[in-house]
Chain A
Amino acid sequence: MERDDIYEYSLDTHHNEEEGKKVRKKIYQVLGILSAITIFEVGMGMKFSRVESMQEILKYSFIALTLVKAAYIVLVFMHLGDERKNLRWIVLATYLVLVGYLIFICLTEAVYAGEHRTWDPVIDAFKSLVGGGGAHH
């Protein structure tokens, strides 16, 4: 029987020239996709970052595009998409459930904290400056 307690061992670390070509093609495709998304995002950001009516749609499309980029990096560059199913889901499911919950709870509480914000010296000072006043005291 093969030993599994040896100090250092490795699996699936080789492929031949032909498979390498396929892998490289995929890498360059993903580079194209990631660059295109980034350029698109920066362009949209430059053009519409001060347009009030665009804020909502920008926010959600940026978050969605970021998740697409993250998926490509994790699944292709980090090779998780081609690992065994059990490893893939141990990593992804654990992360998504815990962080999903964290984001949910923080967003909910932030809305509450914002609505019930009372006196805050920093905010006070800034609002008076923005308003050109300074006669707040």
Chain B
Amino acid sequence: MSAHATTQPTDVKTLWGGGTSPFGISYGKMMMWFFLMSDAFTFSGLLTAYGFMRHKYHDVWPVAGDVFTHFPFYNGHIELAYVAFMTFILIASSVTMVLAVEAGHRMDKKGVIIWMFLTIIGGAIFVGSQAWEWYHFIHGTEHGAVREFIKDGVWVKEVFHGANLRVNEYGHPLFADFFFFITGFHGFHVFSGVVINIIIFIGVINGTYHKRGHYEMVEKTGLYWHFVDLVWVFVFTFFYLL
């Protein structure tokens, strides 16, 4: 890291005089940063809207610890354990990604292949875990909840299980709406991240970037992948912990 842009002289006069990159990064990375910023604003908007509604309906908002209690191959209830596992998987895959970038800096093709492969596996496990979590949230508990509504002019009671966009047995339906929307949007980011990683991975195996003389494509897809991890850190806090 010490050999990077910061150590180079950045004289303001020559910096903007042309013939050089004023920000010390390439065009592709600059555009990736701009894209990630717009994406960050989207997620911030979603999470802030979630915060608004949660604040407004604080008395009927479900506690996440009551909702997400399942763990694979275990019949009892453990709060937060599975989502903690998911978080760890995503952090670990972020680490393998940054190790792939580091290997690329040394032109170590074999290292890049190994670390990128592990990153893709981690991403796939995460997407699968999210599908599993959705399954349990949609199906709900055995006893479910009762809802009352007017049918043909009389009040009727009905037992329902789980959550969808209209009802939610654990509390306010908006919780379910935001959950599906935000984790869904994030899950789609993870999915597309895995697809992009696979595309770059094939390029690495074929030696495309080695021939080019640098592994900057791995760095760019790495930026996207870290961003996905970054968003999850916030989703994890605001949906599950608080």
**Is the pair B226, A20 in contact by a Cβ cutoff of 8 Å?**
no
Instruction: Verify if A70 is at the interface (C-beta below 8 Å from B).
Output: yes
Given A31-B91, A73-B94, A87:B148 Cβ within 8 A: no
Question: Which residues of A have CB within 8 Å of B227?
Answer: 78
Instruction: Verify if A86 is at the interface (C-beta below 8 Å from B).
Output: yes
Which residues of A does B touch, CB under 8 Å?
1-2, 4, 8-17, 19-20, 22-24, 26-28, 30-31, 34-35, 38-39, 41-42, 45-46, 49-50, 58-59, 62-63, 65-66, 69-70, 73-74, 76-79, 82-87, 90-91, 94-95, 98-99, 102-103, 106-107, 109-111, 113-114, 117, 122-123, 125-130, 134, 137
> CA–CA, A127 to B91, complex, Å?
39
Q: Chain B interface secondary structure, helix, strand, loop or mixed?
A: helix
A-B contact pairs, 8 of them (CB 8 A): A23-B105, A34-B91, A41-B241, A45-B80, A66-B234, A103-B44, A114-B57, A129-B146
**Is the pair A87, B226 in contact by a Cβ cutoff of 8 Å?**
no
CB within 8 Å: A-B pair count:
216
Instruction: Verify if B5 is at the interface (C-beta below 8 Å from A).
Output: yes
CB distance from A106 to the nearest CB of B (A): 5
> CA–CA, A126 to B229, complex, Å?
35
